[in-house]
Homo-oligomer: A and B are copies of this chain.
Amino acid sequence: MTIYESIKRSILHGEFPPKMRLTEEFLAKKLETSRTPIREALKQLESEGLTVSMKRGVRVRHFTKKDIQQIYDLRTLLEGYAASQAATHRTEADLENMRLANDSYEKAIDNYIKTGETTIENILDINHQFHNAVINASQNPHIYSHITKVVVVPLIFRSFYWFNEEQLRHSLEAHKTLLKAIEEQDMERARVAMHEHIYHGRDEVLKQMDTIDEQYSPAKELQ
């Protein structure tokens, strides 16, 4: 795991909460390296929007509810576009990838509901794989960096997520609808399917943000 990934992980898992100040020396000591590689990682994180730098120093970025809404809107736009492009440009290999990812997804969800062995982390991971497969099928590599930037933000609240059976089944259905539209090369249906799928996720996240707002806000007082 690179230094960049390690810091990112700490932010996404809530170990470094929003507004926490990240001094170079602290990170250098923690990751047992010098300040130079830390700086590079921090620059990268900033360009991804996970941190903000003030006149002096860097802090973990705080996202308001409005931020989340707007970022999700962009994700909807971008992934919707990716889906519509995938519908026209997908190859046989792309279809195979998407099918495989979706089969894994179905199995993971089944397993989660029936035995509880599969973790939520695992399900999120496979879901991510499917989305990546769609982006890949769009044959536009430039979309990728834009989407990673908007996808990563809601993950900050990942630790708060809570899924019920119905949500997961609903998500699986959405994937299937989307896959079908892409198979049939129906651009507009693919776009709409992706759009609604993500928009639904947006609503869930925002709903859950209301619940966690109190335990989340005290971070303001950090350092």
Contact = CB atoms under 8 A, between A and B. Distances in A.
B146 A73 contact: no
Interface in A188-215: none
Interface in A116-144: 140-143
B67 A142 contact: yes
Given A142-B74, A143-B74, A47 B49 contact: no
A142 B71 contact: yes
Q: How many copies does the complex hold?
A: 2
A49 to B, nearest CB: 7
B40 A73 contact: no
Nearest to A77: B81
Nearest to A47: B47
Contacts of A78: 77
A77 B77 contact: yes
Interface in A44-63: 44, 47-49
A140 B73 contact: yes
A19 interface: no
28 contacts: A36-B36, A39-B40, A40-B40, A40-B43, A43-B43, A43-B44, A43-B47, A44-B47, A47-B47, A47-B48, A49-B142, A49-B145, A70-B141, A70-B142, A71-B142, A73-B140, A74-B81, A74-B140, A74-B142, A74-B143, A74-B146, A77-B77, A77-B78, A77-B81, A142-B150, A145-B149, A146-B146, A146-B149
Interface of A: 36, 39-40, 43-44, 47-49, 67, 70-71, 73-74, 77-78, 81, 140-143, 145-146, 149-150
| Chain A to chain B: the 9 pairs with minimum beta-carbon distance, closest first | A47-B47, A70-B140, A43-B43, A70-B142, A71-B142, A77-B81, A146-B146, A40-B43, A74-B142
